[in-house]
């Protein structure tokens, strides 16, 4: 059985996940499992890939000439055009393909060259373990090659290879080479800068990094602080003068600068080229490859340095095999179809989706990488499959709502069409309508190319309103899923026709078991009615064995029985849907996927003497933060005097409470908060964009004995104030830098 699998004809939407009898115990729910497919049947399916290498090889064998990648090439500037360093790049509207077979050849050449670099001693540094360099990356309980294992071309394996670039086919060529030649791929974040790159390079450590040419100067700047780094490889061709200058700079640091094209040519030569995959006939090679570490995926780090999540071949392969169960019929049967790639490959969500596309005989179409051009990219690519995060979908939803609220016939027609289709969807589960699709929604569908049949959302929950709007506007399957880096980005997913799945993240996938652990202090227990609630804990083939070089974090996240504690509070309903309702730790993921440590921000913002108490509120359906602030009376009186020209005594709390309700006061305080953010070099998503002000201390019901704030209770008590702060924060028209830019004007 190779390829995507449809849901069974007798699919029972009343029973998607089910508790295993006899597994409930004190303080925790029963263990839940997928009720759609039998786990034992799935585990023992014949002819399924057991490694990422096998998965790719099977895909190439089925269609070597089919395009694996598509891209929009950069057009050369006109010779007559004036030179400008600020001129925007111009991309072709014609897509250039690279076939499965071509990628396979490039991968094998590059992998052969990488092993030759180790064999020739060009990756040795002062960083070694067990007397060798570069060191093999190991983790307790995971099989590894060992220093004496040189059965593959006389080279050692298991060391790490870094990748630092935006999404492009070379990114995957490097990663596929690592899979086929026993190496460990490590991605550096495209957007988080050289400090994070330096930390990851040293933590892993990395002896070689492939980078787009724009990152090479940054790599050379941090190189003196990265003793393991010996070779930097440019993914882009370099002009002779640029190559000579960068090579001289690298040499002065004891590094080599290579170009990826040259390295691939070197790997194709006699005496260097080695067949990909486990060594045939060598005892234990295939078994080792199935269980070995295949990548380290670093988290973005919210309260300190990023953690390196260890992921194995088995983790990845079984996550993919689980995801292909229950797939849209228009993506089945080996037909050609396109997936649009714009979410960063440094995140696990996008990365595993690429492998799902390869497994399903699809084509990955890369965008330009400019989020403001996403609509243009989509209209050229015309994808059938698109993934996204709430920030992207929210902008599209906002554009539709803006048009609905507009006057005249167009607004009235859109309102009527939306109401009719949502009513039909809720009643029948159908997202299509012959009249309204042709009359109204055809233009909206065209915004994203007009060919979408499957859309999925991850990173943070979608609001029910946005979820339903996407379904009826694009007339296709729109599903939510749930996962973390530690679970290969997946452990639950929804079903397109399931009306009751809206507001949930779907059913438990075949590769997982799930249970809920009581957090009575937060008001969540497995005995709650009508549904059990608690911290989501997971087991399964896709679960990380732990964090690299960090036994403490591993022990804190994975208990002695092997359950991974996610830190998210969930609820399982009668049909087996999982709903995310809270977070154990005071870390929130915003709608664009960024994690924010709320307590850290409060400790910084509250340094301002203006605040007697401060609560920073984040919501996974929003892209920004707001605050509830209790003001110091004396400081507030002074602020009112300077901002409003009014003299109000600090003792007159009634008059002062009325005065701080003025919008000018809120604007003045937001400016102060912005100055604090700048002083502490906070990221843009860590800035406060809206605020509610009061002189009244927070009530005792939201304060713990240790004077911490009960966030979930505070959020309920101050729900109106929080909503008002968001409404005011989002009211001004701002320059849209999101993927939905321009959508309103094009509807």
What is the predicted pLDDT for the residue at 178?
98
Going from the N-terminus, what domains does the chain have, and what CATH number goes with each?
Answer: 100-132+143-320 (3.40.50.12780), 389-481 (no CATH), 587-730 (3.30.300.30)
What is the predicted pLDDT for the residue at 169?
97
Which residue matches tokens 């974090």?
A: 553
The DSSP string of 653-715 is: HHHHHHHTTSHHHHHHHHHHHHHHHHHTT--GGGSEEEEEEESSPPPGGGB-TTS-B-HHHHH
27's torsion region: left (phi>0), alpha (psi -120 to 50) or beta?
left
User: Does the pLDDT at position 134 exceed 50?
Assistant: yes
> pLDDT exceeding 70 applies to what percent of the chain?
94
What is the predicted pLDDT for the residue at 704?
53
Residue 331 sits at the vertex; the CA angle it makes with 430 and 71, to the nearest 5 degrees, is: 120
What is the predicted pLDDT for the residue at 87?
67
pLDDT, tens digit (0-9, with 9 covering 90-100), for 150-186: 999 999 999 999 999 999 999 999 999 999 999 999 9
CA distance 588 to 490: 18
Q: If DSSP codes are grouped into helix, strand and coil, which group holds residue 258?
A: strand
Residue with the larger pLDDT of the pair 339 and 632: 339
C-alpha 696, offset from chain centre: 40
What is the predicted pLDDT for the residue at 746?
45
User: Which range, of 11-15, 315-319, 590-594, averages the lowest pLDDT?
Assistant: 590-594
What is the predicted pLDDT for the residue at 732?
56
C-alpha 716, offset from chain centre: 28
Q: Give 527's contacts (C-beta < 8 A, 6+ positions apart).
A: none
- The pairing of strands 477-482 and 338-341 is unpaired
What is the predicted pLDDT for the residue at 742?
47
Contact between residue 474 and residue 397 where contact means Cβ atoms under 8 Å apart: no
User: Does the pLDDT at position 739 exceed 50?
Assistant: no
Taking the CA atoms of residue 52, residue 53, residue 59 and residue 60 in that order, the dihedral angle to the nearest 10 degrees is: 150
Q: How confident is the model at residue 708 (pLDDT cuts 50, 70, 90)?
A: low
What is the predicted pLDDT for the residue at 550?
95
Query: Of 101, 113, 117, whose CA–CA distance to 59 is shortest?
Result: 101
> What are the residue ranges of helices labelled H in 360-456?
374-381, 390-404, 408-428, 434-436, 442-446
Please, what sign has the CA dihedral across residues 508, 512, 513, 514?
negative
Contact between residue 161 and residue 183 where contact means Cβ atoms under 8 Å apart: yes
What is the predicted pLDDT for the residue at 735?
44
Please, what sign has the CA dihedral across residues 553, 556, 562, 564?
negative
C-alpha 411, offset from chain centre: 35
User: Which range, of 211-225, 561-575, 581-595, 663-677, averages the lowest pLDDT?
Assistant: 581-595
What is the predicted pLDDT for the residue at 705?
40
According to DSSP, residue 441 is labeled I
User: Does the pLDDT at position 600 exceed 80?
Assistant: no
CA distance 552 to 530: 37
User: Which range, of 88-97, 249-258, 698-707, averages the lowest pLDDT?
Assistant: 698-707
Contact between residue 698 and residue 709 where contact means Cβ atoms under 8 Å apart: yes
What is the predicted pLDDT for the residue at 399?
78
Q: Which residues of 46-75 are buried (b: 16+ CB within 10 A; e: fewer)?
A: eebbbbbbbbbbbbbeeeeebbbbbbbeee
CA distance 375 to 142: 43
Taking the CA atoms of residue 96, residue 100, residue 104 and residue 105 in that order, the dihedral angle to the nearest 10 degrees is: -50
Beta sheet of 688-694, edge-to-edge order = 611-617, 625-631, 688-694
Write down the mean pLDDT value for the chain. 89
CA distance 367 to 392: 15
Q: How confident is the model at residue 4 (pLDDT cuts 50, 70, 90)?
A: confident
What is the predicted pLDDT for the residue at 50?
94
The secondary structure of the chain in percent helix, strand, coil, rounded to multiples of 5, reads: 40, 20, 40
C-alpha 272, offset from chain centre: 37
* pTM of the entire predicted model: 0.82
CA distance 122 to 248: 17
What is the predicted pLDDT for the residue at 471?
93
Residue with the larger pLDDT of the pair 47 and 95: 95
Q: Give 589's contacts (C-beta < 8 A, 6+ positions apart).
A: 459, 460, 595, 596, 620
User: Does the pLDDT at position 256 exceed 80?
Assistant: yes
Residue 413 sits at the vertex; the CA angle it makes with 409 and 417, to the nearest 5 degrees, is: 175
Mean pLDDT of 465-485: 91
Residue 34 sits at the vertex; the CA angle it makes with 391 and 528, to the nearest 5 degrees, is: 75
User: Which range, of 18-22, 135-139, 302-306, 400-404, averages the lowest pLDDT?
Assistant: 302-306
User: Does the pLDDT at position 741 exceed 50?
Assistant: no
Please, what sign has the CA dihedral across residues 251, 255, 259, 262?
positive
What is the predicted pLDDT for the residue at 634?
85
- Alpha-carbon Rg of the chain, whole angstroms? 27
Strand ranges in 293-384 using DSSP code E only, listed in sequence order: 293-298, 308-312, 338-341, 363-366
CA distance 134 to 120: 12
Q: How confident is the model at residue 602 (pLDDT cuts 50, 70, 90)?
A: confident
What is the predicted pLDDT for the residue at 591?
85
What is the predicted pLDDT for the residue at 273?
98
């Amino acid at each position: 059985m190779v390829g995507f699998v449809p849901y069974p004809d007798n699919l029972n939407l009343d029973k998607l996940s089910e508790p295993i009898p006899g597994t409930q115990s004190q303080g925790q729910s029963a263990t839940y499992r997928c009720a759609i497919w039998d786990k034992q049947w799935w585990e023992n399916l014949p002819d399924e890939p057991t490694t990422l290498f096998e998965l790719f090889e099977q895909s190439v064998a089925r269609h070597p000439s089919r395009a694996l990648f598509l891209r929009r090439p950069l057009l050369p500037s006109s010779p007559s055009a004036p030179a400008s360093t600020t001129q925007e790049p111009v991309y072709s509207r014609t897509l250039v393909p690279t076939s499965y077979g071509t990628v396979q050849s490039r991968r094998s050449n590059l992998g052969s060259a990488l092993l030759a670099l180790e064999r020739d001693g060009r990756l040795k540094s002062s960083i070694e373990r067990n007397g060798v360099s570069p060191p093999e990356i190991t983790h307790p309980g995971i099989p590894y090659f060992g220093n004496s294992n040189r059965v593959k071309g006389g080279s050692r394996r298991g060391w790490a290879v870094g990748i630092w670039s935006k999404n492009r086919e070379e990114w995957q060529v490097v990663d596929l080479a690592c899979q086929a030649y026993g190496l460990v791929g490590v991605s550096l974040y495209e957007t988080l800068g050289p400090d994070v790159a330096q930390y990851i390079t040293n933590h892993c450590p990395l002896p070689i990094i492939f980078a787009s040419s724009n990152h090479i100067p940054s790599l050379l700047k941090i190189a003196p602080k990265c003793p393991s780094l010996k070779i930097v490889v440019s993914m882009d061709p370099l002009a002779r003068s640029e190559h000579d200058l960068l090579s001289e700079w690298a040499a002065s640091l004891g590094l080599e600068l290579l170009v990826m094209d040259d390295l691939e040519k070197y790997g194709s030569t006699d005496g260097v080229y080695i067949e990909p995959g486990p060594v045939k006939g060598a005892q234990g090679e295939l078994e080792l490859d199935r269980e070995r570490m295949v990548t380290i995926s670093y988290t973005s780090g919210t309260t300190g340095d990023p953690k390196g999540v260890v992921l194995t071949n088995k983790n990845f392969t079984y996550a993919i095999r689980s995801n292909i169960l229950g797939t849209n019929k228009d993506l089945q049967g080996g037909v050609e179809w396109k997936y649009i790639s714009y979410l960063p490959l440094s995140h696990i969500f996008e990365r595993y989706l690429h492998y799902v596309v390869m497994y399903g005989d699809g084509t990955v179409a890369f965008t330009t990488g400019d989020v403001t051009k996403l609509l243009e990219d989509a209209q050229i690519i015309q994808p059938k499959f698109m993934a996204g995060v709430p920030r992207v979908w929210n902008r599209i939803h906002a554009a539709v709502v803006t048009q609905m609220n507009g006057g005249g016939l167009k607004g009235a027609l859109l309102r009527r069409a939306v109401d009719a289709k949502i009513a039909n969807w809720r009643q029948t589960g159908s997202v299509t309508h012959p009249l309204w699709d042709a009359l109204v929604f055809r233009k909206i569908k065209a915004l994203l190319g007009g060919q979408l049949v499957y859309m999925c959302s991850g990173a943070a929950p979608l609001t029910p309103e946005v979820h339903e709007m996407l379904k009826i506007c694009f007339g296709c399957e729109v599903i939510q899923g749930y996962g973390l880096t530690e679970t290969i980005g997946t452990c639950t997913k929804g079903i397109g026709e399931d009306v009751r799945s809206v507001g949930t993240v779907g059913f438990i996938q075949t590769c997982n078991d799930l249970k809920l652990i009581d957090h009575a202090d937060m008001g969540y227990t497995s005995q709650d009615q009508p549904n059990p609630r608690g911290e989501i804990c997971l087991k399964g083939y896709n679960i990380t064995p732990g964090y690299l070089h960090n036994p403490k974090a591993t022990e804190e996240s994975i208990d002695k029985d092997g359950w991974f504690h996610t830190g998210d509070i969930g609820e399982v309903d009668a049909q087996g849907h999982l709903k995310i309702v809270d977070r154990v730790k005071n870390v929130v993921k915003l709608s664009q996927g960024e994690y924010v440590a709320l307590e850290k921000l409060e400790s910084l913002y509250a340094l301002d003497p203006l605040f007697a108490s401060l609560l920073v509120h984040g919501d996974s359906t929003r892209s920004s933060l707001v605050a509830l602030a209790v003001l110091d009376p004396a400081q507030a009186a002074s602020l009112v005097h300077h901002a409003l020209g009014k003299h109000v005594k600090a003792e007159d709390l009634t008059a002062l409470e009325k005065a701080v309700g003025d919008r000018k006061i809120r604007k003045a305080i937001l400016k102060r908060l912005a100055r604090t953010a700048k002083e502490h070099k906070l990221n843009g998503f860590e800035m406060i964009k809206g605020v509610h002000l009061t002189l009244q201390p927070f009530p005792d019901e939201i304060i713990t004995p240790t004077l911490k704030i009960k966030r979930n209770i505070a959020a309920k008590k101050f729900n109106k104030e929080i909503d008002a702060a968001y409404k005011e924060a989002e009211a001004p028209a701002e320059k849209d830098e999101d993927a939905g830019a321009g959508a309103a004007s094009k509807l």
